[in-house]
Every structure is written in C-alpha cells, then in structure tokens.
Amino acid sequence: MVSIEIDGKKIEAEQGSMIIEVADAHGITIPRFCYHKKLSIAANCRMCLVEVDGGRKPLPACATPISDGMVINTQSDFAQDSQKSVMEFLLINHPLDCPICDQGGECELQDVALEYGNDVSRFSEKKRAVVDEDLGPLIETEMTRCIHCTRCVRFGREIAGIRELGAVGRGEHMEISTFIEQSVDSEVSGNIIDLCPVGALTAKPSRYQARAWEMTQRDSVSPHDCIGANIHVHTLRDKVIRVVPKDNEAVNEVWLADRDRYSYEAIDKSERLLKPMIKLNGEWKESDWESALERTASKLNMMVQTDGANQIAAIAHPSSTTEEMYLLQKVMRGLGSNNIDHRLRITDFSCQQFEPLHPELGVELSELENLDATLLIGANLRKEQPLASLRLRKATRFGRVASVGLYPVYHNFSLSHEILADAETWLVQLAGITKYLYQHQPDKNKEQWADTMDIEGLEKLLAPINISQEHREIGEMLLQGEHSSIILGATALEFSHAGEIRLMAKAIANLSGSTYGFLPHGGNSVGAYLAGAIPHRGPAGADVEQDGQHIKDIFEQGKKGFVLLKTEPGKESVIGEVAKQSLLNADFVVSLTCHADDEAFEYADVILPIGSFLESSGSYVNVNGLWQDFSASVNAPGEAKPAWKVLRVLGNLLNLKNFEYVSAEEVRKEVKGRLSAVGDRIKPKWQCPERLARDGVSPRPVNMYQIDGWLRRSPSLQETVLAKGQEILKRPRLSPFHNIVGGV
C-alpha cells in the first residue's frame, strides 16, 4: 500500500493502481469516456486529464499508476482547463441532434459537456458526416455521433472474444466499422449499447419510443437460463420499452445476453391470449374465468374417480417461477398423482435417485474466472449459457480449458485440449481420462474413496480401456490445477446415456480433486427441484409414497389428462413429436399459457390466459442456489392472471387443503419453510456404471432463440443470424488478443 493525496484528501491505495480507480473507490469524480472498469485501458479520449505535482503537463488519470507520495489535483485551474479543451475538441464534429437522440437524457457526453463545455464553439468549419452501417436487427447506428472511445471494439475483443468491430482510417477519417459489410452476430452484442457513452449505438427495437426521463425503472430477473441475470425493466404507460442490465457482480456482472435483453418484445408484439378459451364441439369459444376453471376442476375430479389419479400428469416449463411450480405440484399431489415433471430436454432418468437436492454448478459463478483447469463435457457455453461463457473466458488468462464433445464447438476462448467423439465412444473417452487419473493416485487415496466409490467395480470397468495421449494431457491438466472443475453442458444432459456420463464425470472430479456440476435447462430448474416439480421427490426433497412417472414415460405411455404450465412440449421437448401425439390422444388437456398462437390450440380442451415473466411476481433460484424474487413490471393484458393465482383458485375448486394464499410471497415463504425443516439430508451418491454403453444417441442441439415461447416470439431476435442458424457455418472471428481481459 502507498499513501497519496487527491484534492487534499489523504488516501492509502494499492501500489500500481490507476489514479481513476483510486478516485472512483473514494467517491472522487473524474470525467471520462473511454475508460470502463471492465475493459482494458485505451487512454484515447483524454477527458480524464488531471494535474500531478511535479508533472509538466496534465496526465490521463486512467493510464497513470499511483506512486508513494503522489499529490493529485482534479479540480485545479490547470486540470479544469485541460478537460475543457478536450471537451471542445470532442464536440467539433458531434451533431446537434440531442432532441431526437435516444441517448438524450442519459448521455455521458451531454452530462460532461454541461459542466466542461463552452456555450459557443470556436470551430465553424463543416462538420464531419459518417455513413451508418447496418449492424443487424438489434443495434441502431448513428456513427456521426461517435467520439472514438473504442469501448465497443474493446468489448468484442476482450469480453465477448469475437472481434466484430474495429477502427479503420486515421485522424478525422477514423471510423468504427465491421471491416467488411456484415452484421454484429455475437450472442452478447447488445452490451455495446450500454457501453457507448454517446448515441452512436442504440437499441433498434426501442428506437424513438420514449425519452429516458419519461420511463419508470423496475427490477426483475431474466428467465432464459440458470444464471438468473439481473435486469432493469424500463416502462412507459404500462408498456415495456426496453430491458438493460442491473449490476450484480456475483451473477451477471454488468452484462446481459441478447436473449435476456430483447425477449421482452414478445409481450406486445406477439398474439396474446386475452380471455379463457373452451373447446365446445370442436370449436374454440371465449369463456369467463369461473366457467373455465369449474370445467377444469370438474374434468380432473372425474378422471381421478373413473380412471385413477395415475392417469393425470402435469408438465411445467423450467422457466416457470418457483411459486407456480410449487402450487402445480401441490394440486397434482392433492389429487393423488406424482406425475409431474419439468425436465423437457432429458431422456435418461436412470440415475435420478442419486442426484443431489437440486442441480448445482459446484463452484460459484464468480469463481469460474479463477479456475486454472476446466473440463467441459458436452458443453457449448456460448449458445447455452452466454454469461457463464464470458466468465470462463477470463479463466483462460492463466488457466486452461479442455473439452470432450460430439461435434465441433466454436467457443469464444481457446481450448488447450479437445476430444471429439461419436455417440458410440463418448463414454469410452471419459473412461480413458478416468483410468489415467486412477492410475496416478496414491494407494491411500484409493482407500479413502472406498466408502464413497465402488473401487473394485471401477477397476473392472476400466480394465479394457486404452489410454490415449489426449487422455493423459487432460488428466495431467486436472491434476496440476489447484482450482479445477468438471462442467457438463446441455449435450451431456440430453444424451441417451446421460446417467452414465454424469457418473463418469463425477468419478473424474473425485479422482482429480475437482469440483463437479452442470448447467441445467431453463431459468429455474433449481427452483423446480426445490418446489417438488419432479416425480420422485416432493418439495424440499421430501420422500413420496410412490414415485411418479418421469416425463419420457408420461409421453411415451400416454395419459388421459394433462395440465401444462407455460410449455409447448411439441416444440420444447426432446421427444417433441411423441409428446405432441400423446397430448392429441389425451381425453382432457388444460394449458396455462400467454399466447393466442400456442400449439395447445391443436390438442387442449381448456386454455387459460396467464401473465408473462414481466407481468407476475415470483422468484427464480439460480444454479448456485441463490433465490432472486421480483415483482410485476407491467400489468397483464386483457383478463390474463398470474399463473400462481390461477393455480390457487383451481386448488380451492378441487377442495384441496391449504390454498388460501394472498400473495406470491406467502407461497415462497411456505417453500422456504419446508426447506429449513428438511435441512441438508439429501446427499448425492455415486455408483459404478455397469457397462460403457456403445449405442448412445444425442438429440439435435436446440437453437438458443427457440428454447421458450418468449424467445420464439421476439421479432428482432428471430431476425438475427443466430436464430436463422447461419452462424454455425462459420467460426467466430477470434481476436489475436482473445485471451486479454481488462478490468480485473
């Protein structure tokens, strides 16, 4: 630590810190444009010039490291004159279009110019004009406003890992461009809108819709993946105008994936279901809530009495709230059925009894960037969990990442080792790594694992396996790492022998001293487990008298009655065609949905309109077990109701006990109460696979903008290259500096 003085204030700070970092940490404001805490230092705007005693000229605070005894003045006449001169230069070519600029009212250039700008410019020459580029359906450009801070360029190079923008030309001819005419296709491209300090880059879907000071800001949580990104929802007259990131270093830092940012479009731009619908004599008729719910309750009761409770099943989308899934399972179990599931993309349930209380990553999201050895198994993080991919990319500064998968994956970070296997030999490849690790263990370690691992069975299983050079290299990487992790992705979870894959991955983790975990589907799979939306456990992991059927058996064997919550199984299930046919064959189907163009109109008998994730209160639990609750940002249209309220009334009409909730908070409190009562009694177990299956089948990967109804109905997202499936044909343009990550 060194001692310095800023504006007369004595401060102790870490040697080598930049002046602007120390000033920010102590509430001292220094104007800036190019500096950003998450990006590398460019020092090209010069707005942060300050006076340092002993210096002959002003120095940029963002690029000047502190030293012991340094005296800095940010408010002296010398510093102020320097900053005002820079401001005057920046405004030479900036257009005077603030009244129509979407950035107006929240523009960094406006704010700084108000304090450091002059009333009249001394430069009367003709202003520069720049032709705008079409960067795609998500980002609007007005490049004449650009002040060349290069934040957008550095974000692509350092954070996203895909260099899509760059600076061409010199001097006043310099322009930010894609080099060749094409769109910006990154799955996190919208972040450059937040980074842009002027109005050069703005959100195309919300262009000219509202001024910053007119909108109301509400906090919420994104439902599209298990990260649980925090978001600010900006609304005007009960309409969502845009979504921007809310800072949360433990979850999403300051970033958002494009699907988190733009899925709100589906709220107003899709066909919304406004009234309950009942099918009478093969035709759909509008109904009132009382009639629709009474018909639903009557049919479910009748089925239980005539066909038995086992002939009824409930399917929820994993992005439903914890409260909704808790009430859904409570209705089903109140009727006597344990046939409830949310695992639409899973086909192998052979090891579900050995699972922990809920899916978990095994390491905090914020610690992904500190791993020095990571093995990805069947994971395409860029498309499955974009924000987790940004975290893991940071780990490649000093650590190494290896991958075992079925097909080439174009990551935004470099791989130290990669094994591509076909479905028949995937397990054999994992067994090779396991065998190498087992052979390099001291005997005392093998004795310690005797209580938790079937050592004799493992030796027998691995005996015929040949160890390749790739197996050795990956094994050594894990053994040498002090902080190592095994992470399974969607392909591994959806594999026909996913149970064996998970067991082998767990064995690799045990033998290498690594953490183990996976990234589940949807935004609230963890909450689904805790709420009891699974057939073999009740809420908080409580035992059930008799296991219900998992989703694969439900659809393949068929049921007479179905309750669907926010899901279109024909589009979302890994066995979509089988699921849809099973629903068509059912005697009665009730669907709780937001959409008037839902596939449920093909097979349902009653369709109930519910609010979207921005029109209802609830909570999501992310992959680290973090509970995040939120309130409605806008009101649901028409007669649509929050799903938890619909399920509460349905429970009352079915004469089930304890359905007198008045708020989602009461439901959440009940779930948490059951968790505290159960405690930590469920422990994950490990058993040795009986064989290394060689007849595996892996489902086709689902497009990242097709995983739920909101993404499928977002017009702007569906216009992107990623949604059209064209991006997979080309490798991302990785920067030669792709492992440089600033701001850490």
Residue type, 346: I
Which DSSP helix (H) or strand (E) runs through 137? none
Confirm if 64 and 52 have CB atoms less than 8 A apart: yes
Question: Is 651 part of a structural domain of the chain?
Answer: no
- H helix or E strand, kind and range, residue 107: none
* Domain end marker among 236, 269, 302: 269
Same domain, 390 and 481: yes
Same domain for 109 and 65, yes or no, is no
d(CA 146, CA 201): 8
**Is 333 a member of any domain?**
yes
- Burial string for 146-155 (b: 16+ CB within 10 Å, else e) reads bbbbbbbbbb
Question: Rounded CA gap, 606 and 583, in Å?
Answer: 13
- pLDDT band per the 50, 70, 90 thresholds, residue 735: very low
Structural domain containing residue 438? 360-519+685-702
For residue 656, give every residue at least 6 positions away whose Cβ sits within 8 Å of its Cβ, in sequence order, or none: 330, 331, 334, 335
**Which residues, including other chains, have CB under 8 Å from residue 400's CB and lie 6 or more apart?**
372, 373, 374, 416, 417, 477, 481
Residue 493 lies in a domain: yes
Q: 12-40: per-residue pLDDT in tens?
A: 999 999 999 999 999 999 999 999 999 99
* Secondary structure (3-state) at 490: helix
CATH of the domain at 138: 3.30.70.20
Return the C-alpha torsion angle 637, 638, 639, 642, nearest 10.
0
Name the pLDDT band for 700 (thresholds 50, 70, 90).
confident
Residues 150 and 226 in one domain: yes
Chain length of the chain: 744
pLDDT at 447 over 70: no
Residue 67, judged by CB atoms within 10 A of its CB (0-12, 13-18, 19+), counts as exposed
Give the pair of three-digit tokens for residue 441: 């263990």
The pTM for the full model equals 0.94
Window from 47-61, 257-271, 571-585, 680-694 with minimum mean pLDDT: 680-694
Question: Which one of 74, 90, 106 terminates a domain?
Answer: 90
The pLDDT of residue 702 is above 80? yes
Of 637, 707, 642, 106, the C-alpha closest to 386 is 707
Q: How far apart are CA 12 and CA 429, in angstroms?
A: 53
Which residue in this structure is represented by tokens 């589906």? 266
CATH code of 18's domain: 3.10.20.740
pLDDT at 729 over 80: no
> What is the token pair recorded at 410?
């174009």
Interatomic CA distance for residues 344 and 576, integer angstroms: 9
Write down the residue that tokens 């991006």 correspond to. 727
Copy the structure tokens of residue 116: 């450091």
Same-domain pairing of 298 and 395: no
DSSP 8-state symbol, 167: E
3-state secondary structure of 85: helix
pLDDT digits (tens, 9 = 90+) for 395-437: 999 999 999 999 888 899 999 999 999 988 999 999 999 999 9
Residues 184 and 39 in one domain: no
Find the DSSP H helices in 214-363: 258-262, 265-269, 289-307, 322-335
Tell me how far apart the alpha carbons of residues 485 and 363 are, in angstroms, rounded to a whole number.
8
How many structural domains is the chain composed of?
4
Helix (H) or strand (E) holding 192: helix 191-195
**Per the structure block, which two tokens stand in for 23?**
């000033």
Across the chain, what does the average pLDDT equal? 92
User: Are the C-beta atoms of residues 337 and 310 closer than 8 Å to each other?
Assistant: yes
- Kindly tell me if the per-residue pLDDT of 181 is higher than 90: no
Burial 224-245 (b: 16+ CB within 10 A, else e): bbbbbbbbbbbbeeeebbbbbb
**pLDDT at 740 > cutoff 50:** no
Match 């999403």 to its residue by tokens.
252
- Asked if 480 and 373 touch (Cβ cutoff 8 Å), the reply is yes
Q: What is the pLDDT of residue 227?
A: 96
pLDDT: which is higher, 123 or 631: 631
* Averaged pLDDT for residues 241-245: 97
Burial 157-181 (b: 16+ CB within 10 A, else e): bbbbbbbbbbbeeeeeeebbbbeee
Domain presence at residue 172: yes
Q: Is the pLDDT of residue 722 over 70?
A: yes
Give, for 588, the enclosing helix (H) or strand (E): strand 588-593
Residue 738 lies in a domain: no
Cα-flanking dihedrals φ and ψ of residue 154, to 5°?
A: -70, -35
Report the SS3 class of residue 18.
strand
How much is the average pLDDT of 107-133?
88
pLDDT band with cut points at 50, 70 and 90 for residue 287: very high
pLDDT value at residue 295? 97
HSE of 706, CA atoms in CB hemisphere, 13 A: 15
When pLDDT is averaged across residues 45-72 and rounded to a whole number, the result is 94
What number of other Cβ atoms are within 10 A of residue 100's Cβ?
10
Tell me what percent of the residues of the chain surpass a pLDDT of 90: 81
Q: How confident is the model at residue 446 (pLDDT cuts 50, 70, 90)?
A: low
Q: Is the pLDDT of residue 103 over 80?
A: yes
Considering the domain architecture, whether residues 211 and 69 belong to the same structural domain is answered as no
Residue 479 has pLDDT above 60, yes or no: yes
Structural domain contains residue 122:
yes
DSSP code string of 510-547: HHHT-EEEE--SSS-HHHHHHHT-BTTB-GGG---SS-
Which CATH number do you get for residue 573? 3.40.50.740
Q: Are residues 344 and 405 in the same domain?
A: no
Q: 379 and 321 share a domain?
A: no
Once rounded to an integer, what is the mean pLDDT over residues 563-579? 96
CATH code of 508's domain = 3.40.228.10
The pLDDT, as a whole number, for residue 448 is 64
Pairing mode, strands 216-221 and 230-236: antiparallel
**Rounded (10°) CA dihedral 339, 341, 345, 349:** -60
Per-residue pLDDT for 450 more than 80? no
Instruction: Look up residue 560 and give its two tokens.
Output: 């007479």
pLDDT mean over 443-461 = 73
Residue 483 has pLDDT above 90, yes or no: yes
Give yes or no: residues 202 and 323 share one domain.
no
Q: What is the DSSP letter of 441?
A: S
Three-class DSSP labels, 402-430: EEEECCCCCCCCCCCEEEECCCCCHHHHH
Give the pLDDT band of residue 687 (cuts 50, 70, 90).
confident
Q: Which of 269, 295, 319 is the last residue of a domain?
A: 269
Q: Give the H/E segment covering residue 201.
A: strand 201-203
404/493 same-domain check: yes
Helix then strand then coil, in percent of the chain rounded to 5, is 35, 15, 50
Residue 527 lies in a domain: no
d(CA 140, CA 329) in angstroms, rounded, equals 45
- Claim to verify: residue 55 and residue 73 sit in the same structural domain: yes
pLDDT at 121: 81
Residue type at position 529: Y
Domain for residue 573, yes or no? yes
Q: Is the pLDDT of residue 728 over 60?
A: no
Contact 40, 742 (CB under 8 A): yes
Shared domain check, 236 and 129:
yes
Q: Which residue, among 111, 325, 327, has the nearest Cα to 199 in the 3D structure?
A: 111
pLDDT of residue 732: 47
- Give the whole-angstrom CA distance, residue 522 versus residue 535: 18
